[in-house]
Amino acid sequence: MSQDEKFELVRSMFNKPAIKAQFVQALPKLGLDVDRLLRIALSVMRDNPVLLDCTTVSLLSAILGGVQLGFTFEKYLGQAYLVPFKNSKTGQLEATLIPGYRGYIELAMRTGNVAHVSSEVVYEGDEFELEMGLNEKLRHVPTFIMKSRGNPVGAYVVVFYKDNSRPSFEWMPTDDIESIRRKSKAPNSPAWAESWTEMAKKTVIRRKLKREKLSVEIQKAVGLEEAALAGETQAGLLPHINGEAEQIHEDNFDKKIATLGLPIENLEAMRVFIENTANAMHPKMTAQQLRNAAVKSEEAFKDFMSAFEEWHKNRHVSTETPPSQTSAPVLEPRRKRGRPPAEKIVESKAVEIECPDDGTMVSSETCNACDKRAGCPAWEG
C-alpha cells in the first residue's frame, strides 16, 4: 500500500460513523471541534510521511489518545506530537503520542488548582540562587546578552496555585537532564539536537507534575511519554480503536510476502491455507488475525512459511498422485478426553477417525486429500 493510499485510507476512516463516534465520545468537554483536530492530524501526516508507514491501528490509537487528552497536534502550539518509533519486538513502525511541555502545562491549568506554570533554563552567566530545605528559595535573574550567558547549568519549573498558597518548584541540574536524555530511546533525535532548551523544560515539568498528582490526565500523559522514552509500546496505554478500524490493521503481511516473489499459484494456495488454518484454530481466528500474527516477529514469519510450505507440498502430492499410491505421513490423531489414543498411521495403513466438520468416520487416506487437513483439530504432527 502506497503512502497516498494509506493517507486516503486513514482519512476515510475518520469519516466512518462508527469511528467518528469514538473520537467525539473521547473528546473532553472543552469546546474543541473534533473535525478540526482530525484535519490537523491529517496535516501532520502530510508533513511527516513516515507516519504513514506506521501500523494503522497505532496511528489511529495515538490520534485518539491525543483527542482524549484534549491535545491538538498543531506544531506551533507544542501540545503534543505524533512520532514514529520502531517496535523492537515486532520490527514494525508504530505511531506514538508524545506530549509537549505546553501540553503538560495545559493539563495542569485544566485541573482548576493551578493559576500559572513557569519554566526556565539557567545559564552560567545568569544570577541564580537556590536554597532547599525548610526555607526553600529560588531566585533567577537572566542575563539577556546571549554571548555572556555561557552553557546551561540546569532548568526549573515553578507552579503557582489559585488558592494563593506558597508556590512550589522543581530544579534539575544539567547532568540530571542529560542523564535522562542519554537513557531515552532517541537521545540524538532532532528534538534534543535542535531544541535542547525546550526539551530541558519539558523534562523538569514532567517530573514536577508527576509528583504533584494533580489529575489522572497528567499521570496518563506522563506514562505515555515514559513508555516511549523507554522504547516500549504504548499499545496498552492508548485507547483501543474498535469496530471497523480493526479491519484496517496495516497489512505488513502483503509487503513481506511481496519480497519473496512467489508465483501466482502459490499465492492462491496460501490464501486457501490461511483460511483453512484460521478456521481450524482454537479459539477460531479470522484470516486477517492470522496474517497479522504471522508478521509479529521474524520468528513468527519463519514458522508461518515453514507450515505453509509443508502443507503446500503435501497438498501438491495428494492432488498429483492417487491416495492409494502415496504414503501417509507419520501423524497421530489428537487424543480426546475419556478415549484411548489411536494408533499411529504408518505408511498407507488406514485408520478411521471422526471428522470434526460433519461427524462422519473417515480414513487417513481421505484426510490426506482434504484441503483442511493442515491444522485440523483431529490431528497433530
Q: What are the sequence ranges of the domains in the chain? A: 1-111+216-245, 112-214, 251-320, 328-381
Q: Which helix (H) or strand (E) holds 151?
A: none
pLDDT digits (tens, 9 = 90+) for 334-353: 444 443 343 332 333 345 56
Which among 193, 157, 156 is positioned nearest to 174, based on CA atoms? Answer: 156
Give the mean model confidence (pLDDT) for residues 123-140: 93
Predicted model pTM: 0.63
Q: Are 119 and 205 in contact (CB under 8 A)?
A: yes
- pLDDT for 250 equals 45
- Kindly tell me if the per-residue pLDDT of 312 is higher than 90: no
Whole-number Cα distances in Å, 273 to 83, 245, 307? 37, 25, 9
> Per-residue DSSP letters for 129-149?
EEE-STT-EEEEE----HHHH
pLDDT digits (tens, 9 = 90+) for 248-302: 444 567 777 877 777 777 888 888 888 888 888 766 777 777 887 787 777 888 8
Q: All 3 cell numbers of residue 69?
A: 487528552
Question: Who has greater pLDDT, 141 or 230?
Answer: 141
Range of lowest pLDDT (26-35, 184-193, 306-315, 356-365):
356-365
- Kindly tell me if the per-residue pLDDT of 99 is higher than 70: yes
Identity (one letter) of the amino acid at 355? C
CB-neighbour burial class of residue 380 (10 A; exposed 0-12, middle 13-18, buried 19+): exposed
Percent of the chain having pLDDT more than 70?
80
